[in-house]
Amino acid sequence: MNQIVGHETILALLERTALRSTPAHSYLFTGSEGIGKKLVALRFIRQLNCPEGANDPQGTCSVCRRITGSNHPDVQIVRPERGSIRIEQARGIHHFFKFPPSEGRWRICLIDDAHLLNRSAQNALLKTMEEPPASRILFLVTSKPYLLLPTVRSRCRRIRFGALSNQSVAKVLEEIKQVSPDESFILASMAGGSVQEALRLDNPTFRDMRKRLIDALSRGGVIGFGEIMGLSAAIAADLDTARDAIRISMSWLRDLLSVRCLDEESRVINQDSLSVLKDLSERFSPRQLLAAYNELVATLSLIESEINVNRNLATDVMFLRLTRLLRNPDPKGDDVFGELIP
């Protein structure tokens, strides 16, 4: 996926900087995974070194094409090797920056997943950053800037990338994967503003799991013990599957709350199940739905934590509690918000 989606303000700011040729010595590009930070950085790097300037907005000249193809002598991309970026790689950047640009105006190094720079590599990099040679630019691209030393962060100009709108992500799915508009909206909503995440979810396994879960959730709490155990075992197979399944269930409960409390159909994610959601929402009190939602949040944070947790047991307990919470009508009915919100 080489298409930049959204981030108009950042693109305009960087384009102005490139045209004036006034970049900072070091940049820190931050924001969620899969929203296009590196694509934007590469576009900026092309604009900085493009001999055509504003006349080559698509980056099609030979210089731009060589930068895109990682085949330009003044542009180096550093990536983690075996899960980290080591001191040797940081020293390599120092060496690379010893020489002035050979062809372009700027000699540039981009470090992808910069949070994987280990501590000694960051310290080595600091030496380069403390006395930045002229005509050199360093880019650090990361979704986890808090893992970088404060001294590294403070030497960079930070560019914060916001999440993309669901509509923008959906549009990408429709354009490049020919996903139908209804389905692309669901996948984009589940992906939380990340194109990469939406593309990951666009597969038959995710669709099958979603169908199976929604079928079970559509029956409220009316679901047999054997089926619960089968469902739980299937979703606990690996962390990604468990996480996806819990998010699907969360979206379902959020939808029920939207219909039940806010009467806002446009906020419903699972638009393909709108009529079922409307029928079901009357059956539950907001308190039941919130309690069930909290169960999912707790299980998600448990399985995502560093603790060596038994995932299957956690999802067993989650489904059993959900079933118990949703099986019978809430005796206290709608008298909920008085208790929850003092």
The C-alpha angle 57, 58, 61, rounded to 5 degrees, equals 95
In which element (H, E) is residue 29 found? strand 26-30
Instruction: Report the interface residues with Zn ion, using CB under 5 A.
Output: 50, 52, 56, 61, 64
Q: Name, in order, each residue with C-beta under 8 angstroms of 22's C-beta and a sequence gap of 6 or more.
A: none
Structure tokens at 105: 């105006």
d(CA 141, CA 34): 11
Minimum Å distance from CB 133 to Zn ion?
Answer: 24
Q: What is the DSSP letter of 259?
A: I
Nearer to Zn ion, 50 or 169 (CB): 50
Nearer to Zn ion, 52 or 215 (CB): 52
d(CA 159, CA 161): 6
Minimum Å distance from CB 65 to Zn ion?
Answer: 8
In which element (H, E) is residue 78 found? strand 75-78
Minimum Å distance from CB 308 to Zn ion?
Answer: 51
Minimum Å distance from CB 275 to Zn ion?
Answer: 53
Minimum Å distance from CB 278 to Zn ion?
Answer: 54
d(CA 110, CA 141): 7
Nearer to Zn ion, 62 or 167 (CB): 62
Percentages helix, strand, coil for the chain (3-state, rounded to 5) are 60, 10, 30
Q: What is the Rg, in whole angstroms, of the alpha carbon atoms belonging to the chain?
A: 25
Nearer to Zn ion, 70 or 328 (CB): 70
Minimum Å distance from CB 76 to Zn ion?
Answer: 18
Nearer to Zn ion, 60 or 203 (CB): 60
Nearer to Zn ion, 50 or 296 (CB): 50
